[in-house]
Amino acid sequence: MIFTTSLTNCLSTPDALGFVNAPSLATFDVRSPSTGLLLASLPDMDLGILRATIDKAAVAQKEWAGRPAAERSDIMRRWCNLIIAQVHDLSAVLTAEMGKPLPESRSELLHAAAYVEWYAEEAKRIYGETFPAPSRDKRMLVIKQPIGVVGAITPWNFPASMVARKVAPALAVGCSVVLKPAEQTPLVALALHTLAQRAGFPDGVFNLILAAKGNAVGKELCTNTKVRKISFTGSTEVGRLLMRQCAEHIKKISLELGGSAPFIVFDDADLDAAIEGAMQAKFRNAGQTCVSANRIYIQDGIYDRFAEKLTEKVRKLSVGDGVTPGVAIGPMIDARSIKKLKSHVDDAITKGARLLCGGNRHGKSGTFFEPTVISNVRRDMLVACDETFGPVAPLIRFSTVEDVIEQANDTIYGLAAYFYANDLKKVWHVAEALEYGMVGINTGRMSSEAAPFGGMKQSGMGREGSRHGADDYLEMKYLCFGNL
């Protein structure tokens, strides 16, 4: 499989990237985290280009919002079909720039297409309401209108599905979008943007900004009065900064931020199912997900058996370049991630934890880390109180239901949680007590275009996916007719 051929197949013409060599623009490089090889040099767009793009989006949005919902829906469905038709080549692009195994890349792209399809259908279901007036001469109703220009900033770990999850609902309801993808993984976003153009989106409706640094772009999107809404997925630290920058204009903002997901296994759980769920929740995308199981709590009665079975499974995980058949764990996104993982493991061992497998950098090149299991972890260790964001599974022993609920909730984060149990009374109690926006019960994977994705506390605000995902891109307007 040749990466350059795959990228070209997703673009409008073989020379569609010719503008990157324009002498008036600086460029930045995109490199493979697996090999370090140069994949592309892209234009490092400045604030002048960004402001002109926002101006264009503001003009285009008015005409786009005025189109019938069915027409917007048809264009979005064509975009969905193009993504599915190009999924083979798009997967090669995604794996090359992000590193995840090809099967995971394919799964992500089909997930992205599912979001586009979902909101193609939701475009025709943006309903208002009427309600009884207090007097005979009045009529009262509510309509919903697109908020306007949306600034979207997407992360590197899911560079395709995060684009679809933000862009699709915005376009469906009649907004225009200015998208800034992560500088580490802009190529699949570029390909998706090209396919959107092929699908028939008018010029200026879906816009892409490529830049090596996100700070200046984020500030302009937050402070430019023509941008009416910000949607960001990334770290809580950056989310706080964007909130401060939006505050001056009281700008609507959606944030999907950090997570420190607890994964709880009670004595009455199906042990084998819990092991499979832990493998999914911890090691998918090499642990580089905001909903990754960060703290794994195991009740006393099954702790040793769980540790033994999980370690046996983890030892069998193959590490390597995502294009290699059979590879389950790809690279970390950069060398800083390796350093963080190693510091978390070393801190735990120094404080008395036991290393069951892994624990070190894998290989002499690339940014690979061994899948790792650590037992006898305490809550004061870094792996238990910081978001590790990698293939390191810390096992924490607990005794009672109330004890584990207290430990699970003892964090500033509240994105996702998982637990395995069979007693129905316990299931309801724990599900309601966990302070998280999403709870997986006897499952290690719960993301779906039909479900609202989002968190509580400092894991963010707003929801993506489901019918609720469209609400963040709409303004509610109350109309009162008098003298009738």
Element (H, E) at 144: strand 139-146
pLDDT at 203: 97
Cβ(50)–Cβ(220) below 8 Å: yes
- Gap between the Cα atoms of 247 and 259, Å rounded: 24
Terminal-residue alpha carbon distance, the chain: 69
Please give the structure tokens belonging to residue 1: 């499989």
312 counts as catalytic: no
> What's residue 10's pLDDT?
74
Report how far residue 104's alpha carbon sits from residue 91's, in angstroms, rounded to the nearest whole number. 8
Could you say which DSSP state residue 453 is in?
B
Q: How many CA atoms lie within 13 A of 94 on its CB side?
A: 31
Across the strands, what pairs with 263? Answer: 296, 418
Measure Cα distances from 235 to 134, 309, 413 in Å.
48, 33, 11
Maximum Cα–Cα distance for the chain, whole Å?
80
CA distances from 450 to 62, 280, 464, 466, 468 (A): 28, 20, 10, 4, 9
pLDDT digit string, tens, across residues 283-332: 999 999 999 999 999 999 999 999 999 999 999 999 999 999 999 999 99
| Of residues 117, 106, 85, the one with CA closest to residue 10 | 85
CATH code for the domain defined by 261-447: 3.40.309.10
Residue 18 pLDDT = 40
pLDDT at position 447 = 93
The domain locations on the chain are 3-257+459-479, 261-447
* Residue the block writes with tokens 């020379």: 15
Residue in 175, 290, 370, 464 annotated catalytic: 290
Q: Do 261-447 and 3-257+459-479 fall under one CATH topology? A: no
Per-residue pLDDT at 4:
62
Is 97 tagged catalytic? no
Q: Which pLDDT score is estimated for 21?
A: 41
Q: Amino acid identity, residue 65? A: A
pLDDT at 9: 73
What was the pLDDT predicted at 15? 40
Which residues, given as ranges, of the chain have pLDDT below 70?
Answer: 1-8, 11-24
Which among 256, 370, 449, 464 is annotated as catalytic?
Answer: 256
| Tokens at 392, concatenated | 């390191």
Give 301-307's long-range contacts (Cβ < 8 A, gap of 24+): 301/267, 302/265, 302/267, 302/269, 302/271, 303/395, 303/397, 305/271, 306/265, 306/271, 306/274, 306/275, 306/395, 307/356, 307/373, 307/375, 307/395
Distance, in Å, from the CA atom of 46 to the CA atom of 211, rounded to the nearest integer, reads: 7
The helix/strand/coil state of 230 is strand
3-state SS string for 233-284: ECCHHHHHHHHHHHHCCCCEEEEECCCCEEEEECCCCCHHHHHHHHHHHHHH
Predicted TM-score of the model (pTM): 0.94
Q: CB of 171 within 8 A of CB of 202?
A: no
Whole-number pLDDT of residue 483:
95
CATH architecture group of domain 3-257+459-479: 3-Layer(aba) Sandwich (3.40)
